[in-house]
Amino acid sequence: MSIYDGRDPTDFLALLEKNKNLFLGVIGAIVLIAIVFIAVSSYKPSAFSFAFSKNPVSLERDSDAILTLSVVNVTGEDARNVSIEVFPKDSSALHVFPAKKELSFLGVNEIRNVDFRIQMNKEEIVAGNYSIQVGVKINNEKFDKTIFLNVVE
């Protein structure tokens, strides 16, 4: 008795039909490995994290909040003239001071904490979530994120 059961050993279609589940499993594993590889290779660590001194902010008690950005150099090279910009999307309700800061030097994996004051315009602001755009440029690489400040009655 032959392992080919009387079939021609070069008959690939017959071999494929007999072992269809095995071939589908191998193809599925190859596709899964490719997807994981693409996802891991395209992952880009964040160049900053943030924290508000108060969030939510009370309309009755508060007139401002401090936004602290922790900026880290994830580019793999020392950086000079790192620019940081923070601006509210609704500029009539919120004002940021200063709107732009620059770090003269930031070494690889070094972290700097930078504070921005977010002031509420009491005539324009109402309760709700307000989006704030943050942009950090390190070694000509731009990192952007929209963050939200919650304002309550």
Q: Is the pTM of this model over 0.85?
A: no
* Rg of the chain taking only CA atoms, in angstroms: 27
State in words which class domain 48-152 has.
mainly beta
* Stretch (H or E) spanning 26: helix 20-41
pLDDT at 2: 55
Q: Where are the domains of the chain?
A: 1-43, 48-152
The Cα 13–Cα 19 span in angstroms is 10
CA 52 to CA 148: how far, in whole Å? 10
Return the residue matching tokens 């509420």: 120
Digitized pLDDT (tens) for each residue of the chain, 153 residues in all: 555 555 565 666 776 677 777 778 888 888 988 888 777 766 667 888 899 998 899 988 888 999 999 999 998 899 999 999 999 987 788 999 999 999 999 999 899 999 999 999 888 888 999 999 999 999 998 999 999 999 998
